[in-house]
Amino acid sequence: MSEEDIKELLNRLFCAKYKSRNYSWDADVISKDHHEIIENIVRQFLLEHHDSEIGELKAKVTVYEAIIKNSNFAPMIAKEQESKE
């Protein structure tokens, strides 16, 4: 997730309001006092899951490379790589 996307997500969370039954105004879902805490939690969560996504993608690439290596396309790919070098 890009920095811009993270900022947009946080902005939406921080701007969220709810209507109170007891008052005539809308109240913040997340108080301004807690914005920094929420931002840290969101960023930590995304960081932890970003690493797992990269691991999953690396595993997929390894599997795809093995499939290609054993396929009919292997000689064509090898020839293409040699021509690039």
Q: Distance between CA 4 and CA 10 in Å, rounded?
A: 10
Tens-of-pLDDT digits for all 85 residues of the chain?
788 999 999 999 999 998 877 777 888 889 999 999 999 999 998 888 777 777 788 888 888 888 877 788 778 777 877 888 7
What is the reported pLDDT for 32? 92
Listed as own residue / partner, the contacts of 56-64 with beta carbons closer than 8 Å and 24 or more positions apart are none
The secondary structure of residue 32, as a DSSP letter, is G
Residue spans of the domains in the chain: they are 3-84
Angle, nearest 10°, between helix axes 74-84 and 35-69?
Answer: 110
What is the reported pLDDT for 69? 77
Q: Distance between CA 14 and CA 29 in Å, rounded?
A: 7
